[in-house]
Amino acid sequence: MKRDMYYVFILGTAGSGKTTLTKNLQDYLLDQEMDTAVINLDPAVEHLPYTPDFDVRDYVDAYEVMQNYHLGPNSSLIASIDLILTKASEIKSEIDQIEANYVLVDTPGQIELFAYRDTGRLISQLIRGNNKALGLFLLDSFLAKEARSFISLLLLSSSIKFRLDLPIINILNKIDLLTEKELEQILAWGDNAENLIDELGRLDEYSLELVNLLIESLSYNLIPMSSEEGKGFNELYAEIQRVIAGGEDYL
Ligand code: GTP
């Protein structure tokens, strides 16, 4: 019988640090003596810093799709994501061979292609099967330090949680790019909606309610990290264990 396996989907906007976190989280989990496997679901990635246990490019490669079908970069990405589904049964039987405590899934750079097309949702369900799964949503600090971008990223995270039907841990990534004061300010926004509302100035009633709701549901988890500098991994690991133990009552 197979042991318990946990699937961790690494999600976030383009360039938010998904691939780097996948590599560094795998190294961290291996240090904790957790058997860890990695799946690459990005058909367009050129270079991976880790050796994937499953690589979707063995089935669909966005550059080959671009050449074979004479498509531009965006449409070849869309076509590639959809083509993944045509290989679903082969992909599933290869992934079923993987045995590990944690399976990290590095998702495509363009989150909207993965999360908002049916293929992404179906493939993520196919991959995880009946195993427990959660998502890590990366907020890029460089964007999050502006209050309206911070809220927009939280909205994106909520939308993805809803779309993929996964509990989500929000990570404030690349904190090494922030001054101490900027970091304190973002964490204060996450702690209490009043701080964020003060920053935003005049708001209509709808926006006010939205901000309150977002921050209220966030109070559980916004993990500050710099995956490049190895900061925040203990806190992230503790939160992953908490989510796995605690069910799905998380934003
Ligand atoms: P796509 O899949 O192409 O959208 O990118 P990604 O989300 O997988 O991000 P990736 O890991 O490729 O990182 C994007 C850039 O951010 C690279 O230049 C990384 O070196 C950099 N980066 C990743 N994590 C950190 C971090 O913690 N701090 C800093 N300063 N840079 C980081």
ipTM surpasses 0.90: yes
pLDDT tens string 66-88: 988 889 888 888 888 889 889 98
Distance of alpha carbon 192 from alpha carbon 17, whole angstroms: 26
| Ligand 1 geometric centre to CA of 90 (Å) | 30
Please tell me the predicted confidence (pLDDT) of residue 42.
92
The residue-averaged pLDDT of 191-213 equals 87
Give 199 Cα–ligand 1 centroid separation in angstroms. Answer: 28
Closest atom of ligand 1 to CA, residue 16: 7
Residue 82 phi, psi dihedral angles, 5° rounding: -70, -35
Helix (H) or strand (E) holding 169: strand 168-173
Give the highest mean pLDDT range of 79-83, 106-110, 225-229: 225-229
User: Which residue's CA lies nearest to atom 2 of ligand 1?
Assistant: 109
For the cut 50, the answer to whether the pLDDT of residue 53 exceeds it is yes
Distance CA 19, CA 48 (A): 7
Nearest CA to ligand 1 atom 29: 174
Q: Which of 9, 19, 160 to mutate to test the pocket of ligand 1 (most atoms within 8 A of CB)?
A: 19
Which atom of ligand 1 is the closest one to the Cα of 106? Answer: 8
